[in-house]
Amino acid sequence: MRIIKVTAMWCMSCLVMQKVYKKAFSGYDNLELIEYDFDDDAEKLIDLNVGQILPLLIIYQNDEEVKRIAGEKSLKQIKEILDNIYNA
């Protein structure tokens, strides 16, 4: 599973979600995490059709995008989504 995480320095929700993401991502074998900053990596994000809703997780399984999670979510919500994808 590959996850692209898009955040921004000015995004308060992004800061709040940092600890949640760290807990959510732990425990998965072969998880590849790629992190982009909305401002610094704007050119790279064009092809990913990233909008203004941050933070954003784009989840891939077998090189196909399977889910986008935008905005603040609880640890439980994120873990449920990741578990469903990981165990599919």
Is residue 1's pLDDT more than 90? yes
Can you give the residue ranges of every domain in the chain?
2-86
Mean pLDDT of 66-72: 97
Number of Cβ within 10 Å of residue 41's Cβ equals 16
DSSP per residue over 46-79, as a string? HTTT--S--SEEEEEETTEEEEEEES---HHHHH
Q: pTM of the entire structure? A: 0.93
**Domain 2-86, CATH:** 3.40.30.10
Query: Residues 6 or more apart from 75 whose CB is under 8 A from it?
Result: 20, 23, 24
CA 18 to chain centre: 10
**pLDDT per position as a tens digit, 22-54:** 999 998 888 999 999 999 999 999 989 998 899
